[in-house]
A and B are shown apart, each in its own frame.
Chain A
């Protein structure tokens, strides 16, 4: 995640002044050994497969991204004039490191890559995801995921 000091001043100030949703303390969970971990990615980059419905502004729903996704299928419908896509255009691993995870699986560095990964719209107020986030948690559990990477974009 980018450092505030690396952002243009106006963007950094805007981020610092955004209200933060309070969820109370979360108990610490011991993570599995990486070689036993089944890893999923949860992204807020507004990405999805080209045939999926585009994200609407402020929507709290999510899109499914399969573990065998080819990056050529990927599109990003989070449209904002302030959204810098240059890194994503050069290498989608920057926002959705699925290829790298698959390499780590092949190398035996992690146990496996999840069957499904999840994408949300990053401009949405997190409090609006109070219904969809628990759904995703249940789906991750059904998939046997025991390690998730959240990538805020």
Chain B
């Protein structure tokens, strides 16, 4: 509220243009933010027939372990940023399985009820996955919820889902490169591949 009042207070300036810096910073320092850690430990990789299957089982456990915190966030805030894909968070296990299957080279049937056609809707599914994880993490007990950088570090570098998102990026990029080559080096029709991770987090941990 104080930020908004300060902003509207600028309307009283007799002449301009004016640029004012809001004098106070967030009380959460980078150091304090870096100390945040997810209360829930990652489930261990279960023994399964293949590494991909083990990763998928672990992912489903992870999604399940976050479910109470996501639900608590929705209960408290009475809202969620989940839903761009057209699905609800109840479908998270199915969404996670679907993305994991693509990431491991399969061509699974997409979940029913998606808002947009494949492959473009993958970007919305990824946004919903991020919303689910981040809103669950925000809700966990602690002095303060994590800031953006700490949140992304946790999601991309410390969760099974992060591992899946890197795999997904590589699979979609490889698929696009293959289709480009098959098209004589020209960009194939349709949208460019979805890239769930780039910029500061482009490199795997």
Q: Do A37 and B200 have beta carbons less than 8 Å apart?
A: no
B124 close to chain A: CB less than 8 A: yes
B130 close to chain A: CB less than 8 A: yes
Residues of A within 8 A of B130 (CB): 85
A8-B200 contact, Cβ under 8 Å, with A77-B84, A86-B134, A86-B146: yes
Closest to A11 in B: B199
Residues of A within 8 A of B147 (CB): 86
Question: Of the candidates B83, B116, B145, B196, which one forms a contact with A90 in the assembled complex, judged by CB atoms under 8 Å apart?
Answer: B145
Residues of B within 8 A of A79 (CB): 84, 123-124, 127
Question: Of the candidates A77, A81, A85, A147, which one forms a contact with B134 in the assembled complex, judged by CB atoms under 8 Å apart?
Answer: A85
Q: Do A89 and B200 have beta carbons less than 8 Å apart?
A: no
Binary flags per residue of B137-152, CB closer than 8 Å to A gives 1, else 0: 0100000011110011
Closest to B15 in A: A28
B195 close to chain A: CB less than 8 A: yes
Measured CB to CB, the residues of A under 8 A from B are: 3, 8, 10-11, 28, 30-32, 34, 37, 39, 50, 54, 70-72, 74-77, 79, 81-82, 84-90, 92, 97, 100-101, 103-104, 109-110, 147, 149
CA distance A62 to B141 in the complex (A): 38
Residues of A within 8 A of B81 (CB): 74-76, 85, 88-89
CA distance A104 to B196 in the complex (A): 39
Residues of B within 8 A of A87 (CB): 148
B99-142 interface with A by 8 A CB criterion: 115-116, 123-124, 127, 130-131, 134-135, 138
